[in-house]
């Protein structure tokens, strides 16, 4: 309720006092006040070394009270911190309904003993689109996989192959304004302001084809049932390169799901391989003359990543970008009535009704995020923000 306008303005018409100079409701004293980071004075001279330096910890702290997406970024860091620090030992298993349900679900499991509860951590799902693997965000994601800071990774076909290709040849900085009609004759492919020589894909084909030969042989002779995740694990093993995300996923037994694995260069190579393996018409497509990838087995495995957590283990989702990785992770968490923690980081808008731009509250309506969760969406570009988020959370807190 507005307060009465000040009597010092009594000379103004009443309608002006009401429309322009009306009073305000009081704001609770605990409400944060907008205030950004106060930079120290700059050096007094080029050779000066006495001036105080920027405190990047305080700079990141100040984002919470900066407003707009800086505040959302700080909230996202807090949400990831909650993911990393949650332990089953924090739950009250005696005096709350949820706690009693957890205790009952723990019965006859390896975690029934309270002494083990500090070992039960949040299962963290990370989703990313392929452009982020093409960019330098790849190194941030590799860091998370190398140090077992996430539990499940979901990406697209490009998110697989771009990592593997970078182990063979580099991606270069280009320009958004480079013309496609000038790049095409030069054999240069553009991803935003990145450049990938076509030779990179030729090297990838030379590397991948013998692996596909071996996979087909194992399928025919040993009855190996390939799934996209099992294929990705094999590729991670074969690349044997410490700069690779999927090498570390293989080493650390982190499952990687990609139901769209044919939608990229890997799909091209699988198509090319059918000519080599003997598929020449649709009549042969039901046989064993080509590599078969079972996506049904993978959707069972992916959903079970969530379901097997049951009610006594929290799940968290960190999703960079939209599209398939976003929906695949959210839908898997639907199977357990929603994720406990969630951070979305993308530039998509919700006005077109796409899942990519949907805010977390829409996922709550589907049961993909729990009703009592505190999810955060940051409207921003991941190459700017995700390395900062990793520095602020995973690299600072760790997992153990």
Active site residue ranges: 368
Long-range contacts of residues 210-215, Cβ cutoff 8 Å, at least 24 apart: 211/235, 211/238, 212/269, 212/270, 212/273, 212/291, 213/273, 213/276, 215/291
DSSP three-state, residue 197: strand
The C-alpha atoms of residue 133 and residue 151 are separated, in whole angstroms, by: 18
CB count in 10 Å sphere of residue 272? 14
397 to 82, 86, 125, 375, 392: CA distances (angstroms):
11, 12, 18, 20, 8
Give one DSSP letter per residue of 235-269, joined into a string.
HHHHH--TT-HHHHHHHTT--EE-TTTTSSHHHHH
Residue where the block lists tokens 């497509």 = 285
CA distance 43 to 53: 9
Percentages of the chain per state (helix, strand, coil), in multiples of 5: 50, 10, 40
Cβ count near 360 (within 10 Å) = 20
């Amino acid at each position: 309720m507005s307060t009465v306008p000040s009597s010092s303005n009594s000379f103004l018409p009443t309608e002006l006092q009401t429309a322009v100079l009306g009073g305000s409701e009081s704001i609770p004293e605990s409400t944060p006040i907008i205030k950004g980071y106060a930079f120290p004075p700059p050096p007094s001279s080029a050779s000066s070394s006495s001036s105080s330096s920027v405190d990047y910890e305080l700079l990141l702290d100040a984002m919470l009270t900066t407003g707009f997406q800086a505040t959302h970024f700080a909230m996202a860091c807090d949400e990831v911190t909650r993911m990393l620090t949650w332990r089953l030992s924090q739950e009250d298993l005696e005096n709350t309904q949820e706690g009693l349900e957890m205790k009952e679900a723990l019965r006859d499991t390896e975690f029934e003993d309270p002494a083990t509860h500090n070992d039960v951590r949040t299962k963290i799902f990370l989703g990313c689109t392929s452009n982020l693997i093409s960019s330098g965000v790849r190194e941030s994601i590799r860091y998370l996989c190398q140090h077992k800071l996430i539990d499940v990774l979901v990406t697209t076909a490009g998110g697989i192959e771009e990592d593997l290709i970078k182990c063979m040849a580099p991606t270069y900085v280009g320009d958004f304004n480079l013309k496609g009609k000038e790049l095409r004759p030069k054999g240069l492919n553009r991803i935003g302001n990145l450049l990938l020589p076509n030779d990179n894909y030729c090297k990838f084909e030379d590397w991948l084809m013998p692996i596909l030969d071996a996979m087909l042989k194992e399928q025919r002779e040993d009855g190996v049932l390939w799934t996209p995740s099992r294929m990705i694990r094999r590729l991670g093993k074969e690349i044997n390169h410490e700069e690779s995300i999927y090498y570390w996923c293989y080493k650390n037994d982190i499952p990687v799901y990609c139901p769209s694995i044919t939608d990229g260069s890997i799909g091209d190579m699988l198509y090319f391989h059918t000519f080599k393996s003997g598929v020449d018409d649709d009549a042969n497509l039901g046989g064993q003359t080509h590599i078969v990838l079972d996506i049904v087995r993978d959707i069972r495995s992916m959903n079970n990543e969530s379901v097997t957590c049951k009610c006594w283990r929290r799940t968290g989702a960190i999703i960079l970008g939209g599209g398939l990785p976003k929906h695949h992770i959210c839908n898997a968490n639907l199977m357990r009535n929603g994720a406990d923690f969630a951070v979305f980081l993308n530039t998509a808008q919700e006005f077109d009704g796409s899942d990519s731009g949907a805010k977390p509250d829409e996922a709550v309506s589907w049961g993909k995020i729990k009703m009592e969760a505190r999810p955060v969406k940051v409207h921003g570009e991941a190459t700017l923000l995700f390395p900062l988020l990793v520095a602020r959370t995973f690299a600072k807190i760790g997992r153990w």
